[in-house]
Amino acid sequence: MNITADPTEFVGKRVLVSGGTKGTGRATVDRFLAGGARVITAARGTPEPIDGVEFVQADLTTAEGGEILTKAALDRMGGVDILAHVIGGSSTPGGGFVALTDDHWLAELNLNLLATVRLDRLLIPQMIERGSGTVVHVTSIQSVLPLPEATTAYAAAKAALKTYSKS
């Protein structure tokens, strides 16, 4: 199947993609770029440069990281029209719930739920004030079909994100 992007679909749109430097997030960035959008994203480290993308070094698992990215988006682009949350992943050990410490749970919740909640809280009010904006939350099939021995905390965090997204 050959899917062609309309090169004008997102012209004039300012897009923030959380988790936009690799995997699904990078594909999301590429799609918005192909449609003519201005894009900003962040990562904890310094990724390979992406032509046409504003990059901010920030750890979105912290409140400070969300504030850094938000300030950069407002300063560099004047606001955000589309907020695409693709951030996520898991680094917890296998072994089911008994193998997970409180630190494992907190890390999964910070990455897969709270990073999104924090950015929403910072950016959605300006969308509401302007009278327009789009927010996309990417969850996971594991929110409904978890792998209990491998990704318990990740699945729970994505299920929480799915529920939060309905509010």
- Active-site annotation holder among 118, 154, 155, 156: 154
CB atoms within 10 A of CB 66: 25
For tokens 């996309």, the residue is 136
Q: Is 154 a catalytic residue?
A: yes
Helix (H) / strand (E) element for 35: namely none
Q: How far apart are CA 50 and CA 55, in angstroms?
A: 8
Token reading at 70: 């938000």
Rounded to 5°, angle at Cα 114 from 151 and 50: 85
As annotated, the active-site residues are 154
